[in-house]
Amino acid sequence: MNTVEKLLFELDTVREQLLVAIETLPNEALSQPGAVGEWSVADVLVNLTAWESEMVTAVMQIQQGKQPTRLLAALADAEAYNQARYEENKERELDRVFDDLMKVRLELEEWLEAFDDQDLTDTQRYKWLNGRALAYLISHTTIENERRYLPTINTFAQQWQAAQDQMEQGDVIPLTAISILKADE
C-alpha cells in the first residue's frame, strides 16, 4: 500500500468512526453547546471542515510550487485559528455543515491523487514545511485532528442516548398506576 492509499484508508476509517458516533443524534443534540468543551458537535464538524479546507488549498498551492502560507499561519496559532473559524460559523445550518464536511473531504481525496510517494514522504521536498513530510502534515490536520475529537463525541453521543432512554422509560406510566383502569377491589 503506497502513501496515498494509506492516507485515503485512514481518512475513510476515521470519518466512518465519526459518522457512526453521531448517526443516532438528532439535530437538537448535534447543536447542543457543551458537547465538546464549549462547542457543539456541529461546531466540531465545522472546525474539521475548516482545517480540511485549508489543507485542500495548501495541497493545491504546493502542487503549483507555491508556499501554503494560510495553512502555515493556521498551524502556527491553531487556537486562534479555531476560535476565528468558530466565530465565523457558529450559526451555520446543519444541512450546510454536513454538505461542506462531505464536499471538502472529496476534494482532499482528489488532490491527494496528484502526489506520488516521494512528494508525500520526503521531509526535504518542501522547504517551507520545516523538515516535515507532506503526508505528516495532511495526517496531522485531518486524520489526527478528527481522531482527537472522537472519544469526546462518542461519550457525548452515549450519554445523550442514555438520557433519552431514561426519559422514555420515565414517560411510561404502568397501566396499574392509572386508577380508572384498576380492577375493583
Give the pLDDT confidence of 75-104 residue by residue, as tens digits.
999 999 999 999 999 889 999 999 999 999
Per-residue pLDDT band for 7 (boundaries 50, 70, 90) equals very high
| CATH fold of 3-181 | Four Helix Bundle (Hemerythrin (Met), subunit A) (1.20.120)
- Beta strands, E only, the chain: none
Q: Record the cell numbers describing residue 31, joined without a space.
A: 447543536
Which uninterrupted H or E stretch holds 153?
Answer: helix 144-171
* Tens digits of residue pLDDT in 33-78: 999 999 999 999 999 999 999 999 999 999 999 999 999 999 999 9
Rounded to two decimals, the pTM is 0.87
Per-residue pLDDT band for 169 (boundaries 50, 70, 90) equals low
Q: If you write DSSP's letter for every residue of 32-99 in order, what string do you get?
A: -TTSBTTB-HHHHHHHHHHHHHHHHHHHHHHHTT---HHHHHHHHTHHHHHHHHHHHHTT--HHHHHH
Q: Which of 164, 137, 148 is nearest to 44 (CA)?
A: 148
CA quadruple 95, 21, 53, 5: dihedral sign: negative
**Sequence-ordered list of residues with C-beta below 8 angstroms from that of 162, at least 6 positions apart, any chain:** none
Domain layout of the chain by residue ranges:
3-181
